[in-house]
Structure 1
């Protein structure tokens, strides 16, 4: 059943990526040049909806949170590698698969790069686990836990920030 739900939500997410036009190479480049914020608007909205949904389902007992450890070095290095790969390929992992599904054959290079990167990471994991993945490891924490408060005020702040940011982007025609 979990696989069916995953398939349905994946198809729905792909559909929304396509309808939001974030699969277009022009939108990807426009974002990298800070001239088109369509991707940020789409993804930040998805993050906000996800935050509310995950914590609401968790509070209702429908799901239980399974956190990964917060590792500062891995986050910084992984983020840099992700950004560099995105800049070179013009796609992130999700948009590359969606673009290929739309028939943009050049997206296959991004997918191959993503698979190669995953293979290299898997091979390097034993060394990384003892080095980079051990640096700045704060364990399984969340921002609300660090602040010692309920997640809902934090979510509220993110929603207010999101509304202000999205409104500003719209006002500036970004």
Structure 2
């Protein structure tokens, strides 16, 4: 099957990546998630902009990939489900995001808007990446093998078909958006 974007290869692929990265950064900025205060207020349950933007991105990306894969326009590249590593990584990511006030993508986009606090945190990300690279052999021997489920996806680990997971994601997003809207409305009304 001939894909419509088959011409994007080699150096064109690098330029396309740069273009899409730029567009992604602009959209993050326009969505308001390159502002430290917006991200901190998310953790304080005062502003749900981050939740809305990221959940929308997850749903659109997930359903989009499901459709692209169904049309044979994309391939899955499944990473091993090393559950201990995932849990430890999620904890470290969460701590880092609370301290930094940005996630890695929003931090880089914030740097592009001239925010020096984001630049300092980015240097911390580079130090963390170097530390991970230096410790990788130990991590590979002691952490990655614990609770390693192999290269599995949720449809393979459960009895639910793939479409049900994506449908569930869409329903979950609708419920979360409705609850957030209700919460925001109740907070905006004078008591």
1:141-156 mapped onto 2 (5 Å cutoff): 141-156=152-167
2-structure distance, mates of 1:109, 1:76 = 26
Give 1:78 deviation, angstroms: 0.6
Whether 2:131 is the aligned partner of 1:120: answer yes
CA drift at 1:22: 0.6
TM-score by length of 1: 0.95
Q: 1:90 aligned to 83, 87, 101, which one?
A: 101
Alignment counterpart, residue 99 of structure 1, candidates 95, 107, 110: 110
In the TM superposition, 1:1-174 aligns within 5 A as 1-173=12-184
* Residue-by-residue CA offset, 1:113-168 (whole Å, 9 max, x unaligned): 11111000000001110001111100111111112443111100110110111121
- Unpaired segments of 5 or more residues in structure 2? 1-11, 186-191
> Does structure 2 retain, via aligned residues, the 8 Å contact 1:17–1:23?
yes
Report which stretch shifted further, 150-159 or 122-131: 150-159
- Give distance in 1, aligned partners of 2:168 and 2:79: 23
**How far apart in 1 are the matches of 2:26 and 2:162?**
30
**C-alpha separation in 2, matches of 1:123 and 1:65:** 29
Please, what is the CA RMSD of the aligned residues? 1.3
Asked whether the equivalents of residues 93 and 110 of structure 1 are also in contact (C-alpha less than 8 Å), the reply is no
